[in-house]
């Protein structure tokens, strides 16, 4: 199972945006650079590149910005500032208990940022491997890399029918369709339930409290 983070596992409640604004102000002296940026379902380095271009900032300073972002995010990404979404831990634990399901990340976050967010709720141990934003890319490329990383880590040649993307936006559905893998959409983040339904995911849930429906669907898929 390839998991998105923001809106699927947790709600950052602006922690990432605040950290990026702080980092941009610290590095370039420009306040509020990310205030109007749409982030849901997007790749970190894509919208960061747009902000750099909008403010005519030297792209060679990207690493300086990212280091400042990680420092700021460590302070912002706390359990008090964010929300762990209902049912997530139960699903992760049940997947591990079943033994034939393997968790991995498939996120548009840069890896250090992703790990900082997950660490706030002690979730990193569920995700020994994943695909992350390593360069500006399409979302399906991030997921494709996640699959390859999972194959190498777990030593299993996962076929497309064995891969389940779990995400909260239309972009997650579109990326899964591009790769011809299964997709479970949860209406806890960037796209409304009706919008997700219109894009026909393989399974649509209001949230991950519907664990019974999720695992019944997985069992049906496994026996197909």
Predicted model pTM: 0.93
Give pLDDT tens digits for 59-109.
Answer: 999 999 999 999 999 999 999 999 999 999 999 999 999 989 999 999 999
pLDDT at 223 over 60: no
* Domain match, 137 and 208 both: yes
Number of H helices, E strands in the chain: 9, 8
**CATH number, domain with residue 72:** 1.10.150
**CATH number, domain with residue 193:** 3.40.50.1000
The number of domains in the chain is 2
pLDDT at 55 over 70: yes
Give pLDDT tens digits for 110-138.
Answer: 999 999 999 999 999 999 999 998 877 78
* Domain match, 138 and 93 both: yes
* Domain match, 57 and 137 both: no
Give pLDDT tens digits for 126-183.
Answer: 999 999 988 777 899 999 999 999 999 999 999 999 999 999 999 999 999 999 999 9
Q: Domain residues for 43?
A: 15-76
């Amino acid at each position: 199972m390839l998991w998105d983070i923001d809106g699927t596992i947790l709600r950052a409640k602006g922690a990432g945006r605040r950290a990026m604004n702080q980092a941009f102000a610290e590095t370039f002296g420009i306040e509020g650079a990310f205030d109007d940026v749409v982030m849901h379902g997007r790749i970190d380095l894509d919208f960061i590149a747009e902000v750099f271009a909008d403010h005519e900032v030297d792209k060679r300073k990207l690493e300086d910005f990212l280091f400042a972002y990680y420092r700021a995010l460590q302070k912002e990404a706390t359990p008090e500032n964010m929300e762990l979404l209902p049912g997530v831990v139960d699903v992760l634990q049940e997947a591990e208990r079943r033994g034939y399901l393997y968790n991995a990340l498939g996120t548009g976050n840069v890896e250090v940022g992703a790990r900082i967010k997950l660490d706030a709720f002690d979730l990193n141990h569920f995700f020994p491997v994943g695909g992350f934003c390593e360069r500006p890319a399409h979302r399906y490329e991030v997921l494709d890399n996640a699959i390859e990383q999972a194959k190498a880590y777990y030593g299993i040649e996962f076929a497309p029918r064995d891969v389940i993307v779990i995400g909260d936006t239309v972009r997650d559905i579109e990326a899964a369709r591009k790769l011809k893998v299964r997709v479970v959409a949860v209406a806890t983040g960037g796209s409304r339930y009706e919008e997700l339904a219109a894009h026909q995911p393989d399974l649509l849930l209001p949230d991950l409290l519907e664990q019974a429906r999720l695992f019944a669907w997985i069992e049906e898929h496994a026996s197909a």
